[in-house]
Chain A
Amino acid sequence: GQNIDQPTEMTATEGAIVQINCTYQTSGFNGLFWYQQHAGEAPTFLSYNVLDGLEEKGRFSSFLSRSKGYSYLLLKELQMKDSASYLCAVMDSNYQLIWGAGTKLIIKP
């Protein structure tokens, strides 16, 4: 079956760095996405990786290793507004997105 695993909840301190991991097993691979979802709101796109390596976009970076079925989202200089759930999703061979349950990130002052 297809499976996306990510931690349920993480806590970090304002100004610090946090890494959110995602491992996946899917039928085929057409890219990995990270979305941010604030409580009670819609998911919004953060990043896309299809090749191995690190993609940097401001305070956020996303890494992919296809051979290991592994990705992480790195958030630097954490701000209170970064408190949200972070969703990992993989596009499978049918171009369907398979979603993880999300990681709730709590930022403390």
Chain B
Amino acid sequence: NAGVTQTPKFRVLKTGQSMTLLCAQDMNHEYMYWYRQDPGMGLRLIHYSVGEGTTAKGEVPDGYNVSRLKKQNFLLGLESAAPSQTSVYFCASGSGRSQVETQYFGPGTRLLVL
């Protein structure tokens, strides 16, 4: 039982390049989330999904896209990376709002955009 996994762990991009971050969970959770964490700030929600085939915008969605084609996977895409997207990205999953919504986090992806 791996929990929540993220790939890659670290990536360096040049401005304008694109990439996809992959999140996978094996807990059969309905809800999945993408956050970014920057120094001196709280975790900020980028996009989230309440089930397979559904996605919704969070607090800071601009410059990012997501897809949830399979229940266990949640992909975060950057179409044209900018230095302001340098951050640590965390994926999380949760069972759903009908229960205490404890979120389980992946190990994070450290992204540097030059």
- Chain A residues with a Cβ under 8 A of chain B: 4, 8, 31, 33, 41-45, 48, 50, 87, 89, 91, 95-102
Contact A87 B102 (CB under 8 A): no
B102 A96 Cβ-Cβ under 8 A:
no
| Least CB distance, B13 to chain A, in whole angstroms | 20
Q: List residues 35-78 of chain B with CB under 8 A from any CB of chain A.
A: 40-45, 58-59
Question: A100 vs B107: C-alpha distance in the bound complex, in angstroms?
Answer: 19
Please classify the interface of chain B as helix (H, G, I), strand (E, B), loop, or mixed, using the class held by over half of its residues.
Answer: loop
A43 contacts B90, C-beta separation under 8 Å = yes
Residues of B within 8 A of A45 (CB): 102-104
Asked if A101 and B42 sit within 8 Å, CB to CB, the answer is: yes
Alpha-carbon gap, A8 to B97, bound state (A): 30
Other 11 A-B pairs with CB < 8 A, given A42-B105, A43-B43, A50-B100: A31-B101, A42-B106, A45-B102, A45-B103, A48-B100, A87-B42, A91-B101, A96-B58, A97-B43, A97-B103, A99-B42
A99 to B15, alpha carbons, bound, how many Å? 29
